[in-house]
Structure 1
Amino acid sequence: MSMMTPNLWLYRSLSRFRWLWGYKSKIMVVAFVGIHVPLLTLLVSFLVSSTFPMGLTVRVLIIGLCATLAGTICTLYALRDLLAPVVLTAKSLRDYANLRALPNLPTEFSDEVGLLMSNTSRTIQQLDQVIHYMASYDDLTGLPNQTLLSSRLQQRLSHAQQKHQFFAVSSFAIGNLDAVYSAFGKESSESFVRAVAQRLSLQFHESVLFSYLGGGLFTAVQTHSEESTNRAVLAQTILEALQEPFMLDEQEIYAVVNIGTSVYPYDSTEINQLLQHANAALNQAKQLGRNTHQFFASEMNVKLQERLSLENELRCALARNELQLHYQPRVETQSGRIVAVEALLRWHSPTRGWVSPGTFIPIAEDSGLILSLGTWILKTACRQNRLWQEAGLPPIRMAVNLSVHQLRQDNFGALVGDILAETQLDAASLELEVTESLMMDNMQQSIDTLQALGDRGITLALDDFGTGYSSLSYLRRFPIDTLKIDQSFVQNVLSDVGDAAITKTIIALAQNLQLNITAEGVETQEQFEFIKSQGCDEVQGFYFSRPILADHLTDLLQNGANLSKQSAPMS
C-alpha cells in the first residue's frame, strides 16, 4: 500500500461492532477512549502513590471523573458539529441517488472537508447534466430526441397560444438510408445521418427546432408570427439544403427526402395529433415520388384510419381462414402444356368482400405481417404441389413470389429447406420469384441468399424484368434461371413499336444467356402468336386462364387440357 493512501484498519476494526453502526459513533468512541484513558490512568496512579486519607482520595477521584466526563461531553459535541460536513455530504449523495435531488452544499471552504463538499456538489451537478443530456438528446446526431421534442413542442404550443402565432411541424425521412446501409455498411450509414443533421443545424441555426427519432426520421418545427407567412418555406428550405451531395467513403451520395407537414392551429391544437398528421402527410409524400412535400389534409386522416382498420383485420384474416391461394397456369408455348403455376394470394373479407392484393399486400409489407403470410403462402403452395404429385398428375413447378423482408431474413434459406422437408416436395418443383428492385435493396445479401437457394436445386426467376434497373452487369451477377417479361410490355407489343422492340430484345438476351424466358400478361391470341414467334419459352395470362382455385386447376391437370387454344374461367 502506498504511503499516501490512508490506512483503514481502525475503521474496519470498529465496523465489526454492530452497535457502532454510524461513522459519528465511531468518532465518539475513539474520542471518549482517547480522553479518558490517559486522564484516568494519571489520576489513579497519583492517588495510589500518594499518602492521602481514603476519604480525600475518593473525593479527588470523583472530582477528577466528573471533570473528565464534562470535558468529554463538550469534546463530543464539538466533534459532532465538526463531522456535520461529512454527514451532510453523505446525505446529499443519498438524496440524489434516491430522489434525483441536486445538492446544496457550501463551496467556500478550502480544507479537506470543504473540498469534499465542493467537489461532491460539482460532480453531482455535472453527472446530472450528463444524465439529462443522455435522456434528452440522440446519441448519433446530438439533436433532441422524442422526449425533449415533446417538451419543447409543448412550450411552443403555450407560447403560440399566448402570442396568437402559428407553427409548422414537418416530419421528413431519408428514403435511401437502407440502400446506403446495404452498400456501405452500418458505420457509413450512421455517418450519412450525422452529416444530414449537421448540415441542417448549420443551415437553420436556432430558428428551427430539429429532432431525430431514429431510423432516418427527423422532425422540424418552425414558428410563424403571421398567418400570411408561406408555411411551405420550411420544407422547401430543407429540400434545397439537402440537394447538394454528401461525401461518403470518397463517393458522392445524394439524400432522398420526403416531407410531410401539419400546421398549428389549423390541423390540430394537440401535440400528438400534430405529429401524427405530419407523419400521415409524410406517407402521402412518399407515394408521390422522391424529394416531395405534402401538407396534411383531413382526407389523409380518413385514409390512415382506414389503413389501420384494414391492417387489424388482416392480422386476423389468416387465423379466420379468410386467405386463400389462387393458381395461374404457365404454359409452354410450343406444346400448350401446363409446366408451372404461380401461387397468388387472395383475401375474401366477410365485411369487405374481395380485397385487392394491391391494397393489402403493401400494408402487409409495411406492418411486417408479410413474414408470417409469406411463410404460410410458401408452405401452402408446396403442400398443394405435393398433393398434385401424389395424385399422379403431370409434374409442374410451383412459383412463389418473395418479399424483400423475407429475403432479408438471415435464416430464410433454412426456412425454405424446412418447408420442403415438411411437405416432402422436391426442390426442383419449387420456383421462387424476385423483382429487380428487391434484389437491388441489398444486392450482395440477396445474391448470397439466392445462391444458397439455387444450390438446393430451387429454380429462381427474375420477375417484372425491364421495369427496374435492367442492367446487364447486375443481371450477370444474379444467380437466376428464368426471366419474366413484365406485362406492361407484352400488352402493347402489337401497338407500340418500342414495347415490341424491348420484348424482342429481352427474349434474345435470355436466349444468349441460356435463361428460360416467360412472358406475363398475355391476353389475346395475337399477343400469344407474336410472343411465340420470337422464341419465348413460356407464357402466362388471361388468354389461357385467370388465377383459379386448386380444385379447378386439378381438373385442368387431370384432363390434360391444351391451354393454347382455350381459356379457363375464373373460380
Structure 2
Amino acid sequence: MAVDRFSRINETLGHSSGDSLQKIAAQRLLDCVNSDDLVAYLSTNRFAILLTSDRYESKEFYASEFARQILDRFSKSCTINNQEVFVTASIGISFYPQNSIELESLLGQANLAMDYAASQGGNQFQFYTPAFNIQSSDRLVLETDLRYALAREELIVYYQPRLSLKTGEIVGAEALVRWLHPKRGLISPSKFIPIAEESGEIFPIGEWVWRTACRQVASWNLLRAEPCQIAVNLSARQFGQIDLPNHLEDILLETGLNPRYLELELTESILVQNPLLAQQKMEAIKSLGVQLAIDDFGTGYASLSYLQQFPFDILKIDRCFVHNLSDEAKNAAIAIAIVQMAHKLNFKVIAEGVETQAELDFLREHDCDEIQGYFLSHPLSAERFFQLFITEKSNNFYFD
C-alpha cells in the first residue's frame, strides 16, 4: 500500500510533513488489522500488510473487504502542521499460494498491482495479474530508451504561441518538449516526464530544452523588430540545483539570448518547500534579467502572501478557471478577481487553456494581458511557429 501523490505532499509541505503523514498512514493501517495480522514499513511510502485470518471461505472476498476498509479510513482528512490534508491510497493484492510461494515474489507482485492502481488515479485496490509484469517491463524499456533519447536526437521542442489581447499579435511562446520515439511514435510528456523526474534524466533533458529554446528564439529575434518572449518550465528538481543561476547565465551567454526575453515558469509547490531558500534563488535568477512566472496559479497550496513575498513578474491563470468563463459564474468571478489582484501587484497576466472565442472575448474584456490555448494554436514545430510569428498577421482573425 502507498499514499497517493505522496511526493507532491512531501515537496509541497516539506519532508517533516511527509514523515508525519507516513506515521498517520501506519496508525490507520494498524487500526484496521486484527491481532494476528502484520503491518510492515518497507520504505518511503511503502507498507505491507500480511493477512492471516481464515474466517472467510473466499480469500478474494476477505481481501476486498479489508482493502475497502483501508480506503474508507484513508478518505478522512488529517491535520499535518496545522494544515488539513485529504489523502487517498493505492493497494495491490497478491495471494499465497495462488500467485507464488516465495515472499519476495509475493511482495513484488503486490507492488506491481499497487502501481497499476495508482496509475489509474489511485483510491482503489487491484489484484495482481501476470499482465502487470508486461507493463512493468514496458516502463523499464521506456526508461532505458529515454536515457538514449537525447543522444539519438529523438527529442523535439515545440512552441505554443501566446497572443497579446492588447494588440492581437503573437508575442511569445511556451517551450514544450516532445519525444518522437523511433518505434512508438510521438510519446506524450505526461508519460515520459514523470519517468525523467524519477530517473534524474530531467536534468540533461531540461538543460537541452533551455539551450535549444534560447538559441532558437535568439535567432528569431534578429529577424523581427518586436522580439519574441520564450517561457520554459522549471520543475522542483531542476529548481533544487544549487548552481541553477550560474547555469542559466552560462546558457544565456552561449546562446546569445537577451535575458529579458526568457521567462521561467515555477509552480506553487516549489515555493512552499523552503520559502526562504526559494526567495534567495529567485532573486539570484532575477538579477540576471530573467523574468519569473507563477504557473497554474490557484491550484496549489501557496498562500496569497507568496505573491507579495516572491519576485514574480507574471501570473498564469490555470485552465481550470478559464473553462466556460462565459457560462460558469464562479469561474468568471475568480478569473476577474485574479486579473485585478495581479495588476495591482504589477504582474502581467496570462490565461492558459483558452479554447473558445467566448473565453477569449471575456478575458480581453476584463483586461487579461495574454492568452494561450488550443483556440489560438496547438504547440507547433519551430518551422511552423516561425512562419506564424514572422509572416502571419493574427489580429484580423482573432479580433473580428
Question: Shorter-normalised TM-score: what interval?
Answer: 0.7 to 0.9
Q: Distance in 1 between matches of 2:84 and 2:383?
A: 55
Paired residue for 1:436? Answer: 268
1:565 matched to which residue of 2? 396
Q: Does the Cα contact within 8 Å between 2:14 and 2:272 map onto a contact in 1?
A: no
8 Å Cα contact 2:12-2:272 kept in structure 1: no
2: CA distance, partners of 1:312 / 1:269: 31
Q: Which structure has the higher relative contact order (CA within 8 Å, separation 6+)?
A: 2
Count of residue pairs the alignment pairs up:
395
Distance 2:308 2:115 in 1: 35
Matched, 1:402 2:206: no
Partner SS for 1:232: helix
Structure-1 separation of matches of 2:197 and 2:255: 26
CA shift, 1:394, in A, is 3.1
Q: For residues 486-519 of structure 1, give each alpha carbon's deviation from its aligned partner in whole angstroms, at most 9, with x where no partner exists.
A: 2333341223233222222221221222210112
From 58, 65, 74, the equivalent of 1:228 is 58
Q: Is residue 200 of structure 2 the alignment partner of residue 371 of structure 1? A: no
Distance in 2, Cα, partners of 1:305 & 1:218: 23
Match of 2:316, SS? strand
| 3-state SS in 2 of match to 1:501 | helix
- Kindly indicate whether residue 209 of structure 2 is the aligned counterpart of residue 209 of structure 1: no
Per-residue deviation, 1:536: 0.9
Structure 1 residues 479 and 207, CA gap change in structure 2 (3 angstroms): farther
* Secondary structure of 2:162 counterpart: strand
Question: 1:525 Cα shift?
Answer: 3.3
Q: What letter is aligned with 1:286?
A: A
| SS, match of residue 450 in structure 1 | helix
Q: CA deviation at 1:348?
A: 1.6
Partner of 2:153: 321
SS in 2 for 1:467: coil
Select which of 379, 382, 390 maps to 1:550: 382
Closer, same or farther: CA 317–197 of 1 in aligned 2, 3 Å: same
Structure 1, unaligned stretches of length 5 or more? 1-170
Quickly say closer, same or farther: Cα 1:174–1:540, change in 2 above 3 A.
closer
CA 241–467 in structure 1, closer or farther in 2 if over 3 Å, else same? closer
1:525 aligns with 2:354: no
Q: Which has the higher helix share?
A: 1
The residue type paired with residue 172 of structure 1 is: A
Cα 1:182–1:331, aligned 2, differ >3 Å: closer, same or farther? closer
Render the CA deviation track for 1:403-423: whole Å, top value 9, x for unaligned: 222122233233222222222
- Separation (CA, whole Å) in 1 of partners of 2:338 and 2:30: 48
Q: Which letter maps to 2:231? A: A
Q: 1:473–1:443: structure 2 CA closer, same or farther, 3 Å change rule? A: same
Change in CA separation of 1:563 and 1:491 when aligned onto 2, cut-off 3 Å: farther
Q: Please, which of 165, 172, 178 is the counterpart of residue 2 of structure 2?
A: 172
- Please name the residue that 1:468 is paired with: 300
Does the 8 A contact of 2:271 with 2:302 survive in 1?
no
Distance in 2 (alpha carbons) for counterparts of 1:310 and 1:180: 26
Distance 1:172 1:337, change over 3 A: closer
In structure 2, the residue matched to 1:305 is 137
Separation in structure 2 between the aligned mates of residue 252 and residue 527 of structure 1, nearest angstrom: 34
Cα distance in 2, alignment partners of residues 231 and 518 from structure 1: 49
Q: Does 1:484 align with 2:316?
A: yes
Contact 1:484 1:519 in 2 (8 A): yes
CA change 1:492–1:202 in 2 (3 A) is closer
**Alignment partners' CA distance in 2, 1:193 and 1:528:** 45
Percent sequence identity over aligned pairs:
39
Counterpart of 2:350, as a letter, is: T
**SS where residue 95 of structure 2 aligns?**
strand
Q: Mapping of 1:344-423 within 5 angstroms?
A: 344-391=176-223, 394-423=226-255
Match of 1:331 in 2: 163
Question: Normalising by structure 2, what TM-score?
Answer: 0.83
1:218-297 mapped onto 2 (5 Å cutoff): 218-225=47-54, 227-229=57-59, 230-232=62-64, 234-235=66-67, 257-287=89-119, 292-297=124-129
- Please give the residue correspondences for 1:62-77 in structure 2 after superposition, counting only pairs within 5 Å: none
- Residues 193, 468 of structure 1: alpha-carbon distance in 2 compared, 3 angstrom cutoff: closer
SS in 1 for 2:180: strand
Q: Give per-residue Cα distances to partners, 1:454-497, cap 9 Å, x unaligned.
A: 23221111222233347423433343211112233334122323
Alpha carbons 1:173, 1:218 under 8 Å: kept: no
Distance 1:317 1:174, change over 3 A: closer
**Distance of 2:11 and 2:220 partners within structure 1:** 43
Q: Contact 1:242 / 1:255 at 8 angstroms: preserved in 2?
A: yes
Alpha-carbon distance in 1 for matches of 2:323, 2:82: 44
Secondary structure at the residue paired with 1:380?
helix
Is the 2:349–2:369 contact (alpha carbons within 8 Å) kept by the matching residues of 1?
A: yes
RMSD: 3.5
**Which ranges in structure 2 are unaligned for 5 or more consecutive residues?**
none
The letter of the residue matching 2:291 is T
Corresponding position of 1:508: 340
Partner-residue secondary structure (3-state), 2:221 = helix
Amino acid at match of 1:331: L
Q: Which residue of 2 aligns with 1:96?
A: none
Cα deviation, residue 272, structure 1: 3.7
* Deviation per residue, 1:281-340 (Å, 9 max, x gap): 222343466765443345544433333332222222221111111112212112122222
CA contact (8 A) 2:12 2:301 kept: no
In structure 2, what is the Cα distance between the partners aligned to 1:520 and 1:246?
A: 32
Classify 1:233/1:516 alpha carbon distance in 2 versus 1 (closer, same or farther; 3 Å): same
CA positional deviation for 1:380: 0.9
Determine helix, strand or coil for the equivalent of 1:263: coil
Does the aligned pair in 2 maintain the 1:393–1:557 contact within 8 Å? no
The secondary structure found in structure 2 opposite 1:514 is coil
The 8 Å contact of residues 6 and 18 in structure 2, kept in 1 or not, is answered as no
Question: Cα deviation per residue 1:513-556 (whole Å; 9 max; x = unaligned)?
Answer: 22101122333433322211111111223333332222232333
Quote the residue 1:56 is aligned against: none
- The residue identity in structure 2 corresponding to 1:347 is W
Cα 1:486–1:244 shift into 2, 3 Å: closer
C-alpha deviation, 1:242, in angstroms: 7.0
**Distance in 2 between the 1:249 and 1:525 partners?**
44
Q: Which amino acid in structure 1 is aligned with residue 393 of structure 2?
A: N
Distance (whole Å) between structure 2 residues aligned to residue 495 and residue 245 of structure 1: 32
**Residue 18 of structure 1 corresponds to which residue in structure 2?**
none
